[in-house]
Structure 1
Amino acid sequence: MDKKILADYIDACELIKETEQDIRRMKKDEVVQDKVNGSNPDFPYQKMSFHLSGVMETYLDSAGIEKEKNLLIERKWNAEKLKRNIEKWMGTIPSRMQRIIRMRYFEGKSWEEVAIGIGRNATADSVRKEFDRFIRKK
C-alpha cells in the first residue's frame, strides 16, 4: 500500500458521488403542461379551456442513453470496489496509523493538525516520520 492508493481512495469516493449525480440526471423526467381551448362536440358549441399535463419521453436515442447509463453504473461499481479494498486494508493496520491516515489523507489536515489530533506530545515531524516509516515498511 502506498500514498498513491490513499489518494485513489479519495478520488474513488468523489467519483461515486459524481456518478450517482449523473445517473440521477439521466433519470430525470420532464413534466410538460399546456392549456388549450376547445368546445363541446354538439350544439350549443361552448368555448371551454382544457388543462393538459404529462411526462415528456425521449425517443431520439434511448439505446445510447441506456448504454451510457450502464457505463456509469459499471464505473460506480469499480470505484466502490476500490473503496472497499482500501477500507479492508485500513482494518488490518494499527489504530494509531489508521487515525493518522484518516486525518491526513481523508480529512485533508496538515501534519500540524494531525499531531494536535493525535495528542500525547506528538509533533508534526514525528507524526510524518512515523507515517513515512510505516509506508516504507509496507
Structure 2
Amino acid sequence: MKKTLKQYNSLIKEIKELNEEIERMKNKKYSYEKDSVTGSNSEFPYQPMNFNIEGIVTIDTTVKEKILINRKYKCEEIKLEIEKFISDIPDSLTRRVFRYRYIDNLEWLPIARRIGRHDESYPRKMIHDRYLEKID
C-alpha cells in the first residue's frame, strides 16, 4: 500500500495530462499534407517533371483515444482507492497525517508542526510507519 500511496500526486498530474491529450486529439481530426512527386509528360518526349500535391488527410484517432481514456480511468480508480484508504483510517490524528503527507504532499516537518509537534520523526515513525506495519 505504501507504493500506491506515493503515487497519489503523480496520478493527479497524469490525469490532467491525459485529459489535455484527449482534448488535443478531439480537436485534431484532419491534417493538411503537402508533398512533391516526380512524373513525366504523358506523350513523347517523356521529360521528367516535378509535381506538387497537397490535400487534407483524415486522421483516425479512435483507437489511441480509447487507450488514453482507459488509462485515465485506471488512474482515477487508483486515486479513489488511495482517498478511500485514507478516509477509512479510524484514528483522526493518523488520518490527518496521511492526508497531509499524500494528498497535500507535505514534508514531515510541516506535518509535525500542523499536529503540534516539533520533531519530524514523530508523525513519520510513531504514526505513519506504525499504522502501515499494523495493516500489512
Shared fold by TM > 0.5? yes
| Correspondence 1:89 to 2:85 | yes
Give 1:116 shift. 0.7
Report what 2:65 is aligned to: 69
Aligned positions of 1:1-138 closer than 5 A: 2-29=1-28, 58-59=57-58, 61-62=59-60, 65-93=61-89, 94-119=91-116, 121=117, 123-129=119-125, 130-138=127-135
Greater relative CO, 1 or 2 (CA 8 Å, sep 6+):
1
Aligned sequence identity (%): 33
Amino acid at match of 1:13: I
The runs of 4+ residues in structure 1 deviating greater than 4 Å are none
Give 1:74 shift. 0.5
Q: Could you tell me the TM-score, scaled by structure 1's length? A: 0.69
CA contact (8 A) 2:8 2:102 kept: no
CA contact (8 A) 2:9 2:105 kept: no
CA contact (8 A) 2:111 2:123 kept: yes
Q: Report the secondary structure of 2:7's partner residue.
A: helix
Give 1:20 shift. 0.2
Unaligned runs of 5+ in 1: 31-56
Q: Could you tell me the TM-score, scaled by structure 2's length? A: 0.70
Tell me how far apart the structure 2 counterparts of residues 58 and 134 of structure 1 sit (CA, whole Å): 57
Report what 2:39 is aligned to: none
Unaligned runs of 5+ in 2: 30-55
Amino acid at match of 1:77: Y
Give 1:122 shift. 5.3
Give 1:67 shift. 0.4
CA contact (8 A) 2:109 2:118 kept: no
Tell me how far apart the structure 2 counterparts of residues 29 and 115 of structure 1 sit (CA, whole Å): 49
Tell me how far apart the structure 2 counterparts of residues 8 and 58 of structure 1 sit (CA, whole Å): 39
